[in-house]
Homo-oligomer: A and B are copies of this chain.
Amino acid sequence: MKQSQLFTKTRREAPKDEVSKNAQLLIRAGFVHKEMAGVYSYLPLGLRVLNKIVGIIREELDKVGAQEMLMTTLQQKDVWETTGRWDDTVVDDWFKTTLKSGSELGLAFTHEEALTNIMRTYVSSYKDLPIYAYQFQTKFRNEMRAKSGIMRGKEFLMKDLYDFSINKAEHDKFYERMKDVYMNIFTRVGLGDRTYLTMSSGGSFSKYSFEFQTVTDAGEDVIIYDPEKRVSINKDDYSDEIFADFGLRKEDFNFKEAKSVEVGDIYTLGEKYSKALGLTYKDKEGVECSVYMGSYGIGVPRLMGTIVEVFSDTKGIVWPESVAPFRVHLVEIMSDNADVHAEAAELYRELTEAGVEVLWDDRDARAGEKFADSDLIGIPLRVVVSEKTLAAGKFECVNRATGKTEHKSTSELIGHLTA
């Protein structure tokens, strides 16, 4: 894409009320626009990153046979009353609205009720199970706290997956598999090293559950973790009891403490929703049984915000290759020599043809401004075309993360990028 045609520009300052680093950088670089606290629009660059993350999650979920669908925001009261979650004193972050007829509706903050209800149409026998269904859907949460930029939103895109199994054993098997799936996802977006499968209290359905915590100062949680042995416990739940329950010995670990962000959670729901809503199946003997469930969430903007918190420096964002809006930032240094522009245009054409995503800074602007913008936007590889590189016969290639500069011909560059 030509940068002259991108409608966003970089900004020197983020809005004064924006205190989080992730939103400050994303706003300044033109990835998002703040509509109000905790509510952000995604501009073209931001949507590209969001879609890259969505693509990685989708690939990993499709590998385990999960089926994608798309449920609705508007929710009817009666289904949620059945499970006891309609009441604002039980769930304190509902957004509610009203139909013309006067009926109250909820804006979904999660979809256990909706999907369990749908499954009643399709599940009758053990032969129909297990089912793994997921969606990327906008969730609404009437949050008071909204100081973490895109990491904690009132409206945000969430991947939520649900498993419907015949019993605990079948569910547990899938639950274990999802631990690996989630770690693959976090590794692919660049956060593998600092993300820990973390033990925490399980809420109302099970004594313990697991969450994925990424170590960063921007986190609102704290974990006690051993970076070598990859064992981690949410500080809120750290106790002698948890060690005993998991058969671990405290003295075997070398624990550290750090602030962290919960980037994913995996819950055992058991029969809570299936029993309340009557989702049953007949087993081999014809006996009516309740379906055994689990749910698995990832907030996509939270993951994107965490990536920005972790991968940024004083000059701007440093996107990991897998989620970068473009692979190459082709920076053309304006020159009276028309050959420079022709060379940039030719390189853009060749890279694009080779399937490389390129943002071409063809704007009529000074080199210093272009480099500063390029650092702020954070595309992994900057390729400079100038009179100097024209004379040298090789382009200057600068790695955004390491700052390392190499000089490459077109074929060397394409070879490197498509290897």
Contacts and interface: CB of A to CB of B under 8 A. Distances in A.
Interface of A: 5-9, 11, 30, 33, 35-36, 39-44, 46-47, 50, 65, 67-76, 95-100, 105, 107, 114, 118-119, 121-123, 128, 131, 133, 138, 140, 142-144, 154-155
Nearest to A35: B72
B41 A118 contact: yes
Given A47-B70, A95-B105, A107-B107, 8 more contacts: A7-B122, A35-B76, A36-B74, A42-B69, A43-B69, A44-B68, A47-B68, A50-B70
A122 B25 CA distance: 16
22 contacts: A9-B122, A11-B121, A35-B75, A36-B74, A39-B74, A41-B69, A41-B70, A41-B72, A42-B69, A44-B67, A44-B69, A47-B69, A47-B70, A50-B70, A72-B155, A73-B73, A95-B97, A95-B98, A99-B142, A100-B142, A100-B143, A100-B144
Contacts of A50: 70
B42 A154 contact: no
Most central of A33, A68, A107 by chain B CB within 10 Å: A33
Contact of A154 (B8, B65, B74): B74
A36 B101 CA distance: 13
A29 to B, nearest CB: 13
A133 B44 CA distance: 9
B107 A35 contact: no
A8 B72 contact: no
Contacts of A39: 72, 74
B122 A40 contact: no
Contacts of A114: 35, 41
A43 B67 CA distance: 9
A354 to B, nearest CB: 19
Contacts of A155: 72-74
Contacts of A107: 97, 107
Nearest to A111: B41
A128 B363 CA distance: 11
B41 A76 contact: no
A97 B100 contact: no
